[in-house]
Structure 1
Amino acid sequence: MAAPSPLPRFLILLLAVTSSAFAAAAATGAPVVGEDYVRPPPARCHRKALLSLFPWSKKEESAASSDPQQVHISLAGEKHMRITWVTNDNSVPSVVDYGTKESTYTMKSQGESTSYSYLLYSSGKIHHVVIGPLEDNTIYYYRCGGQGPEFQFKTPPSQFPLSLAVVGDLGQTSWTTSTLNHIKQCEHDMLLLPGDLSYADYMQHLWDSFGTLVEPLASNRPWMVTEGNHEKEHIPFFESGFQSYNARWKMPYEESGSRSNLYYSFEVAGAHIIMLGSYTDYDDSSDQYAWLKADLAKVDRKRTPWLIVLLHVPWYNSNWAHQGEGDSMMASMEPLLYAAHVDMVIAGHVHAYERAERVYNSRPDPCGAVHITIGDGGNREGLARRYRNPKPAWSVFREASFGHGELKIVNSTHAHWTWHRNDDEEPVRTDDVWINSLAGSGCIQEGSRDRESRKILMSP
């Protein structure tokens, strides 16, 4: 059968993008402020200003096609890091030279490469190289492909304290750049992103510009991400979903026993962190459900007293935007998280911030998880300003504003969560709370309740 002509593909692309735009507008709703805070007009902040903060990541505008582009790093199993970058020159080898002294490379690793085509777009050569074993809490200098500029990163610590930056629904606006500037100002060991990265929405060149935009931060600290609806990019009969996301943002799913890059887990210092997929099957007969159950059953709270879950669609949401979209996933998986005594569930999708107290089965519960919605990184679709009133009993703080979160896990029992509004040159700390781990509470104890919980996780 002959390949479809470019014109029908273009029309399908136009229809897909238009549908996405209308859906986003409908979900956001009218610009009615749900809380007292009224957001001022935005200040301009540009990519060049961000790059000036990272001299080790600056590249000449006329960089050679063989030089690395869109460099980012992610954890790849215990004491290993995955280095990912793109080149326009297919002859560049997938190798990384690295060491602990500037411009001195004593180690070398070779990896793999991939590429993909999407409608009329063809990607560059996407390199993935795993390096290690690495020392904890150590600065490494590295070079991609045997040439080009030198980059550096710092490995996470092996014990507390652990500092995590959290941002969702990032996009590529002036607010995105401001958010990234604010994250740069905070000391963090890694960044967690619960979906909606580039907002490319079928226009593949926007994946390239997003990779360039985040490179200064993402090449310097590991970024651990999961997919959102804007990563799907599925066009029936023409393009399968998640092609660009899976090719560009490879996560350590195989190391965690998962069969899909759309959900996985990893451990850092004393935290076990699970990244779930809101846009792949999650009912009790799915691979993801079976994997989650097995993963939770293996968690040792003496070794990793903190148990944190990230996913894209929130389960507890008092905003009118995306109301109820997480209900079916919550009905399937919330009992598993409750049985495992998950401490926090962090989501995106709704373009506003909200923090709930510990909750389970739609009611406040001291043994439930703290739920946080943080889909306010700076996306182009704007803020979701309409909240449902009266506020639900479980909702503690909510605000329609762009921003980012910071989670500092101080020790095995205490963590400090802050959310920073993105209005000024300096981030404004607007929500601030100490969270106690369930590992140090009466919720986890040798008794009938805990035995029943283990039965849920260990049952066939």
Structure 2
Amino acid sequence: MATPGVFLISAFVFAFAAANIGGALSYTRPPPRQTLSVPLADDLDSNSPQQVHVSLVGEDKMRISWITEDRAPAIVEYGTSPGVYGSSAMGNTSSYKFITYKSGKIHDVVIGPLNPNTVYYYRCSLDSSRAFSFKTPPAQLPIKFAITADLGQSGWTNSTLQHIAASNYDVLLLPGDLSYADLLQPQWDSFGRLLEPLASQRPWMVTQGNHEIEKIPVIHPHAFTSYNARWHMPFEESVSDSNLYYSFDVASVHVVMLGSYTDFDPQSAQYAWLQADLGKVNRSRTPWLVVLIHAPWYNSNTAHQGEAESDNMRKLHGRVDL
């Protein structure tokens, strides 16, 4: 059995000061890259499934989420051979408004039970023009997580996605700041199209960051409208009352996704839920406990303060046998 371990992961990288051996090290922040905008592909129409992504639901099910611009059935057909869909499941359709913006039809379908470490082929809304596949995670260790945050949609995002694609990961964990739409709702659609080639093939498990709040006093006083509508995580299955915090088991790992931007004081619902959730962890069955949150618990960061020290540390590490 693996040695039990606990990891706390935040969306920020902690930078530690180091002795400056041999003189000062200069640092220049890399310039931003151009913001991407991914339109609907020319060969797709208003009924075509787009922005397809998958996420874990319990230990042997998967949620398939996608959007169509017009009405379409919330149905997923799936099987273990290409083009052969021996099983199907129905789900729910919703939409949301954000000031003058109205989303497309957001479909969520849970399929399963599924076998571990298996490739499944599927299609959405009975659309024969688009076929997808995903691989379920293994039932036991080893398992490979890809972890990223503050993804946004720029040239840097493309580079990050290329690294993720090359890693042959099983599950992606994203602790906050997804699309960087920042109130511009069409950017959520662009983000979904940008991610689809990866997010339709492996489960993406996310939690919120500050860029998901999207709250405007009086005009739109409700926070997380877009995030909650588009990224339905398995909070019900972990007895949470909010999509902003939840947990799940995969392989021999218990993963906890916390919410930095909902109440977390000792009297809060999140605090009580976390106590109860941790109390139910079976360390014989899931010896590894991984906790993710967008904002670190202890931090003196102001904007990008400390970024240069992080870069300097990497240079120093290259000069010593660590």
- TM-score, normalised relative to structure 1: 0.60
Shift of 1:187: 1.3
Match of 1:173 in 2: 154
Distance 1:45 1:185, change over 3 A: farther
The correspondence for 1:250, drawn from 232, 235, 238, is 232
> Which of these two proteins has the greater Rg computed from alpha carbons?
1
Contact 2:37/2:187, CA 8 A, preserved across alignment: no
Given that residues 95 and 229 in structure 2 are in contact (C-alpha distance below 8 angstroms), is that contact kept between their aligned partners in structure 1?
yes
Contact 2:37 2:190 (C-alpha < 8 Å) held by counterparts: no
Instruction: Confirm or deny: 8 A CA contact 1:79 1:133 kept in the other structure.
Output: yes
Q: Equivalent residue of 1:143, what SS?
A: strand
Structure 1 residue 64: Cα displacement: 1.7
Which residue identity is paired with 2:110?
V
Do structure 1's residue 106 and structure 2's residue 18 form an aligned pair?
A: no
Deviations 1:18-63 (A, max 9, x none): xxxxxxxxxxxxxxxx975656668889899xxxxxxxxxx95231
Q: Which residue among 119, 131, 138 is the counterpart of 2:111? A: 131
Q: Counterpart in 1 of 2:306? A: 387
Q: Which residue, 189, 194, 206 being the options, matches 2:175?
A: 194
Distance 1:282 1:318, change over 3 A: closer
Q: In the TM superposition, what whole-angstrom CA distance separates every residue of 1:102-144 from its partner, at most 9, and x where no partner exists? A: 0110100000011001111000000000000000000000000
Q: What secondary structure, in the 3-state scheme, does the structure 2 residue paired with 1:399 have? A: helix
**Match of residue 285, structure 1, among 256, 262, 267:** 267
Aligned counterpart for 2:311 among listed residues 399, 402, 408: 399
Give the 4+ runs in structure 1 shifted more than 2 A: 34-48, 316-321, 397-401
* Cα distance in 1 between the residues matched to 2:140 and 2:272: 30
Structure 1 position 118 matched with structure 2 position 98: yes
CA contact (8 A) 1:320 1:388 kept: no
Which structure has more helix as a fraction of its residues? Answer: 1
Aligned to 2:133: 152
Structure 2 residue 242 is matched with structure 1 residue 260: yes
Deviations 1:306-345 (A, max 9, x none): 1111111112335433xxxxxxxxxxxxxxxxxxxxxxxx
Label 1:388 to 1:185 Cα distance change in 2 as closer, same or farther (>3 A).
closer
The two structures have a TM-score, normalised by structure 2, of 0.84
Give % identity. Answer: 56
Question: For structure 2, which runs of at least 5 residues remain unmatched after alignment?
Answer: 1-23
Distance in 1, Cα, partners of 2:103 & 2:37: 23
Corresponding letter in the other structure for 1:276:
L
The aligned amino acid for 1:102 is P
Within the candidate set 59, 63, 66, 1:78 is matched to 59
Structure 1, unpaired ranges of 5+? 1-33, 49-58, 322-383, 390-396, 402-418, 420-428, 435-460
Map residues 197-212 of structure 1 onto 2, 5 A cutoff: 197-212=178-193
**1: distance between equivalents of 2:41 and 2:103?**
21
Task: Check 1:294–1:268 CA distance in 2 against 1; reply closer, same or farther (3 A cut).
Answer: same
What is the alpha-carbon distance in structure 1 between the residues aligned to residue 25 and residue 85 of structure 2? 54
In structure 2, give the amino acid aligned to 1:132. Answer: G
Q: Is the 8 A contact 1:88 1:125 kept in 2?
A: yes
Find the counterpart in structure 2 of residue 143 from structure 1.
Answer: 123
Aligned residues: 291
- What displacement does 1:226 show? 0.2
- More relative contact order in 1 or in 2 (CA 8 Å, sep 6+)? 2
Equivalent-residue separation in structure 2 for 1:247 and 1:44 (angstroms): 27
State whether structure 2 residue 42 is matched by structure 1 residue 61: yes
Contact 1:45 1:178 in 2 (8 A): no
Distance 1:285 1:200 in 2: 32
Describe the SS at the equivalent of 1:255. helix
Whether contact under 8 Å (2:61, 2:111) holds in the other structure is: yes
Distance (Å, rounded) in 2 between the aligned partners of 1:43 and 1:286 = 40
Q: Which residue of 2 is the match for residue 333 of structure 1?
A: none
Q: Secondary structure at the match of 2:216?
A: coil
Cα distance in 2 between the residues matched to 1:247 and 1:312: 20
- Residue 21 of structure 2 corresponds to none
Partners of 2:37 and 2:116 in 1: how far apart? 31
CA contact (8 A) 1:35 1:398 kept: no
